[in-house]
Structure 1
Amino acid sequence: MNKKIIALSVFLLLMVSSAVAIVRVNVYISSSIDGRIPYFNIPAEVNNTPQSFLVVWENTGSVGCRFRLRADIYEIINSTKRQIYTSWSEEIPIEPGAQENLVAYWYPKSPGNFTVHTFIYYCNSIEDGPTGNFTVLKSNITTRAPFDVKTESTESYVEFRFNSREDINDLVIIPREYPLGWIFDSKRMGGIEKGREKIVRVNYEASIWKERNVSFDIVTLDGKFYKQERITLRKKREFPVYHAIIVILVVVIIILSIMLIRYRKRGVELGDREGSNGNSGSR
């Protein structure tokens, strides 16, 4: 009887184990692209300084993305709005659970009343951002900047080399005129130390690249120093490495060929001398 009970128990355990083994456990982790704006700032008044548009974005989704702020600026004249400029922030990666500041800049040409509409670009999506009105005043006189700038461009960025005759705090590089449909970062580059070169790159994206003229406003955040820089976008002239290798190989081959020819010529001359000496000895 005990043997039957034991056998039955073993059989039942095997059946239960088999049933558990057959059950599949599938765990699904849903991915989401989402976020929120915990803070933004659009100064209501600008007095001879660059205008900044700040949006703090918190990535509440489960996917990391690269984020960029776009700011469309409209001039208001007699209750009529006319778009005059589009400003872009730098592109910033934001991981899930993190937040970053997205800041776009604009340097006004003249006083007036303006409104701005912002948008957040990320993961092939566009999200509406804050809007706001502001007033531009032009009461101060900006001093000519005490620094020199040299530029070089490629198909994806413009490189600025700064050399200053005095210490300067908080410079901003803002595209003034650039091709419609292109994206040009506006960039806060920090300060420059007197007599020390500083290199800064401003990235851009061209819809269809070609040589084009662009201009930049380079201004301190307090509006004290200002300089405008105009350049023509060109591909960076680089000497490809494989070309250099080919040139070196050709030179080496030529040198070896010359040495080989001289060696053979010398061998022939030595052979002729030995032959002439042998003939004279036989006589």
Structure 2
Amino acid sequence: MTHALPQPGILAPLPPQARYISFLLREGADPREALRALAAQATGEGLVVGLGADLVARLGASVEGLRQFNGMPGAKVRLPATPAALWLWLRGDDRGELLHRSRKLTALLAPAFDPQRITDTFLHAGGKDLSGYEDGTENPTGDDALAAAVVAPDAGVLAGSSFAAVQRWRHNLPEFDAMTREQQDHGVGRERDSNEELDDAPASAHVKRTAQENFEPEAFVLRRSMPWVEGNEGGLVFVAFGHSFDAFEAQLRRMSGAEDGITDALFRFTTPDTGAYFWCPGVRGGQLDLRPVGL
């Protein structure tokens, strides 16, 4: 029997436009019919689907490795937990088209799910954060990306699936603007224009806090983050796909100061206001493979 393949949108390049929607499960609702209907929609690059731990439990199932995000023990900064039952990442190149697709999906799910949060995002300056720094410089590619982001083919029923850590970070742009260029570069650990890593960056620099090859074991994730804007405020929807949550948690432990008391310099001008974990089923036979949760 062939194993499932990863949802195509996970490994595809970032789209020009996107919309992230999280849903809560209605009290007393049976989600099975809605999930079966959704399963036929997420077979291409345009939609990625993730299930939360509470939803899996409501189905009377379990997914090894799936758990709730509960912050980080010992963290020196605030890491809010905002669990959701279901998460959709709609990908495209036209905001109006994304709106219409999201309305249809919300109606499809309405018998069992209520929207919790909707965030529209976009590709900025070819892949830069709103701070002007390139995001995801050291993302793995090719087979390395597949190994980092997707459960291996020999892993049984979960093969082809992924685990997604999702946080919406809110930038304090006036605080960032008030920093000198040197302070900005040292906070990130790179020179903004050249994207070159700084040899003299302090221990708190983001690059030094999160260098994936410097963990034991190495902590590689596939980042699929995109900027968001609402009015005159903005930030980054951080999304990390992994074959487990272990690599993400290793990085967050170090960033938050839980490991050695040194917090990532990024927290000087940006902080997360959401945090959730999801399991993203693979695709098999032309639809989401929901066999691991009994569907």
TM-score, structure 2 as length reference: 0.28
Greater share of residues in strand = 1
Which structure is larger by alpha-carbon Rg, 1 or 2? 1
More RCO (CA 8 Å, sep 6+): 2
TM-score, structure 1 as length reference: 0.29
